[in-house]
Amino acid sequence: MTLSLTEKLIMAMVFVLLLVGMGLSHVDHGFFRETYVREDGFIEWLTVLGLLLCAGATLYRAVTLWGQKKPLFIGTLVFVTLVFIFGAGEEISWGQRIFNVETSEFFEEQTRRVK
C-alpha cells in the first residue's frame, strides 16, 4: 500500500508538530503550556480539525457504500462518525459554549489542583 502525497504531508506535519511539542516541553515549559497547548490554542484546534476530517471521511464511506455493504457495517460507520463529532465537540467544550454554562467551582478547583 502506497501513501498518497496528502497522506505523506499530513504524517510529516504531525511528526514535526510532535517533535516541536516535545522539544518545547523540555526547553521552555512556560511557552509550551501557555501558548503551544493552551486551551483554544493552535494544537487544540488542529485536533478538532483532525477529528472533523475523520468524521467526514467515515460519513463519506457510509454514503458511498450504502447498498453495497451490510446494514451493520454502515451503521458502524455512522456510529464512528458520531463518535468523531462528539470528540471534536468535547475538545472545544461545545456543551458549555452552546448552552452558555459556566464551570462550577468544584471543577475549577479540580482543574487548578491538577495543574
Q: Is the dihedral of CA 76, 80, 81, 86 positive or negative?
A: positive
Q: Look-up: residue for cell 512556560?
A: 30
Q: How many CA atoms lie within 13 A of 20 on its CB side?
A: 14
pTM above 0.85, yes or no: no
pLDDT (tens, 9 = 90+) of the chain, 115 residues, equals: 788 898 899 899 999 999 999 999 999 888 888 888 888 788 888 899 999 999 999 999 999 999 999 999 999 999 999 999 999 988 877 767 667 777 777 777 766 665 5
56: enclosing H helix or E strand: helix 42-64
Buried b (16+ CB within 10 A) or exposed e, 75-97: eebeebbeebbebbbebbeeeee
